[in-house]
């Protein structure tokens, strides 16, 4: 156990039991803030996500799926082709927030990336007939 910047980092149940046993009774009631440590995405994963946005935007445009057709935006928007930024904001981020209530793509971990991609990919295939593979480590 290490005290770092006012937090105790407890690696496993044994450490937790040792730590809680060492708290004097007069310290209670005691508030605990427990957080799961997540493994942040790697630079390659970040590159892969953004490459995927680019690839999906191209595939949607190649199939003539404009933003207004797929997302059902108002007529004032007109027929707008997809950009990687629009894929990120209008497709990926909406699913990311729905699944994890996390707005920033910088705050999602590896498992979350895989799940979000799975949902995006399934919906793009079902709705638009577009199946864009996630980039491999060699592509990113």
pLDDT at 72 over 80: no
pLDDT at 12 over 80: no
- Tell me which residue of 4, 15, 7, 13 sits closest to 31, measured CA to CA: 7
Q: Which stretch of DSSP H or E encloses residue 67?
A: helix 67-71
pLDDT at 63 over 60: yes
Measured at the CA of 99, the angle between CA 98 and CA 101, to 5 degrees, comes to 65
For the segment 107-122, the average pLDDT, to the nearest whole number, is 92
Parallel, antiparallel, or unpaired for β 2-4 and 7-9? Answer: antiparallel
For the segment 87-106, the average pLDDT, to the nearest whole number, is 93
Strand, coil or helix: 136: coil
Beta strands (DSSP E) in the chain are 2-4, 7-9
pLDDT at 140 over 80: no
């Amino acid at each position: 156990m290490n005290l770092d910047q006012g937090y105790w980092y407890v690696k496993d149940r044994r450490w937790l039991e040792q730590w809680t046993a060492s708290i004097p009774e007069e310290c209670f009631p005691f508030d605990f803030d427990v957080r799961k440590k997540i493994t942040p995405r790697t630079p390659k994963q970040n590159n892969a996500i953004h490459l995927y946005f680019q690839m999906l935007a191209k595939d949607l445009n190649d199939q003539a799926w404009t933003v207004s057709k797929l997302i059902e935006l108002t007529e004032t928007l007109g027929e707008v082709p997809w950009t990687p930024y629009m894929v990120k904001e209008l497709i990926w981020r909406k699913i990311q927030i729905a699944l994890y209530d996390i707005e920033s793509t910088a705050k999602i971990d590896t498992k979350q990336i895989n799940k979000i991609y799975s949902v995006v990919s399934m919906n793009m295939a079902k709705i638009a007939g577009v199946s864009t593979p996630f980039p491999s480590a060699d592509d990113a």
